[in-house]
Amino acid sequence: MLFRVDPSSPVPLGDQIAACVRRAVSDGSVAPGERLPAARALADSLGVNVHTALRGYQRLREEGLIELRRGRGAVVTAGASPHRARLLEGVRAVVAEARELGMTEGDLLDLVRAELKA
């Protein structure tokens, strides 16, 4: 799996790391049960702080795409399907665009609820 980050991007490096994993899950290049690189090794290879790599992994854990286990590292969960990963990427893009437009959380949730009822 190839990780790439752009230090000049306005997107935080941890979020870029998480996006690399999401894309790998969505395109099928990483499968459930597969181990990801150790945070320290990943940080060294990307030239970033280990806490930055851990932030990216923590985001993925919160999304249910990976499990973090002591001694085993980061493992892609059984529920990490390509469809879920693509949906998460889409949601993140919608939220980012809503923020750029100055929408509140309530406004965005109202739009989503209306779309779900349609």
Question: Please, what is the Cα angle at 84 between 80 and 85, to 5 degrees?
Answer: 80
| Alpha helical stretches, state H, 27-74 | 39-46, 50-62
Residues 6+ apart with CB under 8 A from 111: none
Indicate the domain borders of the chain.
13-117
Percent of the chain's residues with pLDDT above 90:
77
Contact indicator for 17, 56 with CB cutoff of 8 Å: yes
pLDDT at position 14: 96
pLDDT at position 1 over 80: no
Region 16-21: mean pLDDT is: 95
> For the ranges 42-46, 64-68, 82-86, 94-98, which has the lowest average pLDDT?
82-86
Residue 34: pLDDT band (50, 70, 90) is very high
pLDDT at position 20: 95
Region 5-18: mean pLDDT is: 95
pLDDT at position 33: 92
Mention the CATH class of domain 13-117: mainly alpha
pLDDT at position 55 over 90: yes
